[in-house]
Amino acid sequence: MSEKTEFTKKLKGGHCLSIFVSYELKSRLKELAERYDRTTADMVRAVLKIGIPMLEGLSQAEEIMVKEYISLFRQLRKVKSLKDI
Confidence of residue 55 (pLDDT cuts 50, 70, 90): very high
Nearest CA-CA partner of 31 in 48, 23, 53: 23
Q: What would the mean pLDDT of 49-78 be, rounded to a whole number? A: 94
Indicate the DSSP class of residue 2: -
Lowest mean pLDDT among 20-24, 67-71, 76-80, 81-85: 81-85
Query: Where in the chain are the domains?
Result: 3-84
pTM flag (> 0.75): no
Distance from C-alpha of 57 to C-alpha of 55, rounded to nearest angstrom: 5
Asked if pLDDT for residue 52 goes beyond 80, the answer is yes
